[in-house]
Amino acid sequence: MKRVEDDIAYTLISQQEIYDKVHEVGRKISEDFEGKEPVFVGVLKGCFMFMADLIRCVNISSEIEFMAVSSYSGTNSTGAVRINKDLKGDINGRHIILIEDILDSGVTLNYLKNYLMVREPASVSIVTLLDKPARRKAPIYADYFCFDVPDEFVVGYGLDYNEKYRNLPYIGVLKPEIYS
Ligand code: IMP
Ligand code: MG
């Protein structure tokens, strides 16, 4: 039987480390957005596990929406961003909190942020589970992030390689032979 862990070289961030950090960030967001009724906008599919855990650590009144974009195939960004699922409701005057799995080149979130700003929300903030600053190309930063990661291709806790490994419950580094 092939298991999801078979292709993982090593654990980069454990379940316990994720749990602790997500609670910390959830508490911070609850304080910062108290009384603002923010709209959490998850960027599918990578956000799903992180978002589910994070919003359970947020105790203020808020709403949940999703967007879907594609910009990536394999381990290299194509640089092009396409909106596959957009927001339906009006976001004019609302506080938007974008939730992503990883901020890599920044091309995706830079595009999304500018795309949403046109609709004149009160603010657009970015929350990302992982930040890979070494690879940044676009002028964008995370308002909240859980972990800095080195320039290695990581999977698990929502992050995929060719749609697999999303169900790994921690963040791991793939064995190089898997993607070479
Ligand atoms: P960016 O536009 O280069 O910042 O990349 C955005 C998307 O690329 C993320 O939402 C991920 O889906 C994907 N991505 C970037 N780096 C990794 C990685 O190390 N593992 C898995 N997916 C990644
Ligand atoms: Mg993604």
User: What is the pLDDT tens value at each position of the chain, 180 positions in all?
Assistant: 999 999 999 999 999 999 999 999 999 999 999 999 999 999 999 999 999 999 999 999 999 999 999 875 555 555 678 999 999 999 999 999 999 999 999 999 999 999 999 999 999 999 999 999 999 999 999 999 999 999 999 999 999 999 999 999 999 999 989 987
DSSP state of 141: -
- The reported pTM is 0.94
**Given this model, what pLDDT does residue 173 score?**
97
User: What is the predicted pLDDT for the residue at 73?
Assistant: 54
In this prediction, residue 89 carries a pLDDT of 92
Strand partners, 65: 41
| Identity at 141, one-letter amino acid code | Y
Give the active site residues.
104
Separation between Cα atoms, residue 110 and residue 5, nearest integer Å: 33
The closest-lying atom of ligand 1 relative to the alpha carbon of residue 72 is 8
Q: How far is the CA of 158 from the centre of ligand 2 (A)?
A: 8
Domains of the chain: 26-149 (3.40.50.2020)
Ligand closest to Cα of 47 equals 2
